[in-house]
Amino acid sequence: MAESFADLRAREYARLDERGHVYLDYTGSGLYARSQVERLTALLHDEVFGNPHSLSPTSETSTQQVTETRRRVLRFFGADPAEYAVIFTSNATTAAKLVGEAYPFGPGGALVLTADNHNSVNGIGEYARAHGARTVYLPLDQEQRASALPQLLPQAAAGAASLFAYPAQSNFTGVKHPLEWVALGHERGYDVLLDAAAYVPTNPLDLAALEPDFVIVSFYKMFGYPTGVGALIARHGALQRLQRPWFAGGTVRFASAQNQLHLLKDNAEAWEDGTPNFLAIAAVPFGLDLLEGVGMARVRDHVRELTDALLQQLAALRHDNGAPMVRIYGPGTTAMRGGTVSFNLLDPEGSLIDSDTVQEAAAGADISLRSGCFCNPGAAEYAFHYPAAASRHCLEGIAPEDFSLQRFSDCMGGVPVGALRASLGPPTNAADIERLGLLLAGFRNRRAAGGGGSDGCERTRRTP
Ligand SMILES: Cc1ncc(COP(=O)(O)O)c(C=O)c1O
């Protein structure tokens, strides 16, 4: 019989309860399990690892370790090595940048994005712009889903490369966008970049069934350790369409300074600049083993069950006058949503309680939440209903040396500039959710300081 999540927590994450921590920031970073550390320590004790780019025995050991880890990553995601390559990067951001800087954008081409991408994907727009391609954002609806996308995704122009990028799960609202959009993107003539960074820590992903061209992940988000290693998982054919803008140590079969010539390697190594983080890469299989041992479908179901409890708990919190205490940004149920829940607290009159005040109270109670906009400006703009023209006026009108979020909020008429985010992972239990509930209940009947601002959901109060 499969080990229960309570036993898993006791065996692998006992430090949480020993230290009294409620950790609810799994979308920020996963937590490493005790066994990962023990297995890595044993490996480092036993083996001698040299720099991988050589033929010495110790170099070979490192090369083998990295090669085996590539295979292991492909297996974990159900990807055929004949179809896909794993390129190790320092994180999901660097993986997105590898695609952005090499993608053959040009006039007539486009980068199409859902409005709720992480900045690490939004930034690809700068490469598109520099090469004369358009960037198009597709809108979100009331629940922060891109439900009109099938109607709105334009046919890509013939003869010009176009890239469609979206998160499998929003790191702001937890919305899960349909994975079927990969096929839709292909039908409409796009290469598809699936940002799986917030999705894969708590959901199974089978690349064989989906065939996205590019997938980006960060391993610390999946299992806490190692930090500093992510991957671009890319179809060989899609990689061939990219144009690497430079070469570096480790990426070439030869280079001639005399003749200013170089020949890139013809595998994943052509994309890995300099010495890979080979000791950290050696730790990746232990994390994958851990998740596979639990079973990703079980992790997904466990997180769904607790997310349901969290959503119900938040919705039930009321002031004595009956007014809701919490505004959730994104879906109120677990249908097509993951375990990332962003919200703000409201006072009895519906005014916003500053998210930093709540975050401070949480920190005082040893509860790790996150506050801010989570590097996802598009989702924040929808959540807080920023009018685009007013927001542009304020962003351009405040001198760079004077810019602060407070100045921006003031300029916008007191709009919120941040939310709170609770996110769940395999170690999360019902007691974690209850402790968060108790903390938030402490704000019952509390007035927002200075009358507070709107939480952004009443348009008339937001016009600057
Ligand atoms: C959806 C999503 N994409 C990309 C990233 C960037 O990941 P990293 O900071 O590890 O590069 C994050 C990080 O929070 C994320 O949640």
Which domains does the chain carry? 5-31+296-462 (3.90.1150.10), 34-293 (3.40.640.10)
Distance of CA 323 to the CA centre of its chain: 33
Mean pLDDT over 346-354 rounds to 95
Centre of ligand 1 to C-alpha 118, Å, is 7
Model confidence pLDDT, tens digit, residues 273-316? 999 999 999 999 999 999 999 999 999 999 999 999 999 999 99
Identify the band that residue 404 occupies on the pLDDT scale cut at 50, 70 and 90. Answer: confident
For residue 65, pLDDT over 80 is answered with yes
Model confidence pLDDT, tens digit, residues 419-436? 999 999 999 999 999 999
SS3 328: strand
* Ramachandran area for residue 426 (φ above 0: left; ψ -120 to 50: alpha; else beta): alpha
Instruction: Tell me which of 89, 121, 173, 375 to substitute to probe ligand 1's pocket, judged by most ligand atoms within 8 Å of the beta carbon.
Output: 375
CB atoms within 10 A of CB 119: 14
Q: Report the half-sphere exposure of 2 (CA within 13 A, side-chain side).
A: 12
Query: How far is it, in rounded angstroms, from Cα 10 to Cα 39?
Result: 18
Task: Determine whether the shortest distance from the Cβ of 118 to ligand 1 is under 6 A.
Answer: yes
pLDDT at site 83: 97
pLDDT at site 451: 45
User: Percent of the chain beyond pLDDT 90?
Assistant: 87
Burial 161-177 (b: 16+ CB within 10 A, else e): bbbbbbbbbbbbbbbbb
DSSP code string of 85-150 = EEEEESSHHHHHHHHHHHS---TT-EEEEETT--HHHHTHHHHHHHTT-EEEEEP--TTS--TTHH
Q: Which of 278, 168, 180 is nearest to 233 (CA)?
A: 168
Report the catalytic residues: 375
Task: Determine whether the shortest distance from the Cβ of 98 to ligand 1 is under 6 A.
Answer: no
pTM of the model: 0.95
* Residue 27 and residue 342 in contact, taking contact as beta carbons nearer than 8 Å: no
For residue 463, pLDDT over 80 is answered with no
Model confidence pLDDT, tens digit, residues 436-454? 999 999 999 999 986 444 4
| For residue 427, cis peptide bond before it (omega within 30 degrees of 0) | no
pLDDT at site 106: 98
Strand partners, 112: 136, 164
Q: Residue 171: what residue type?
A: N
pLDDT higher for 458 or 131? 131
Mean pLDDT over 178-191 rounds to 98
Q: Report the half-sphere exposure of 428 (CA within 13 A, side-chain side).
A: 34
Mean pLDDT over 401-422 rounds to 88
Model confidence pLDDT, tens digit, residues 234-282? 999 999 999 999 999 999 999 999 999 999 998 999 999 999 999 999 9
Query: How far is it, in rounded angstroms, from Cα 284 to Cα 73?
Result: 8
Model confidence pLDDT, tens digit, residues 358-370? 999 999 999 999 9
Question: Nearest C-alpha to atom 14 of ligand 1 is from which residue?
Answer: 28
Task: Determine whether the shortest distance from the Cβ of 218 to ligand 1 is under 6 A.
Answer: yes
Query: How far is it, in rounded angstroms, from Cα 235 to Cα 250?
Result: 21
Model confidence pLDDT, tens digit, residues 377-387? 999 999 998 88
For residue 459, pLDDT over 70 is answered with no
Q: Residue 281: what residue type?
A: I
* Residue 42 and residue 388 in contact, taking contact as beta carbons nearer than 8 Å: no
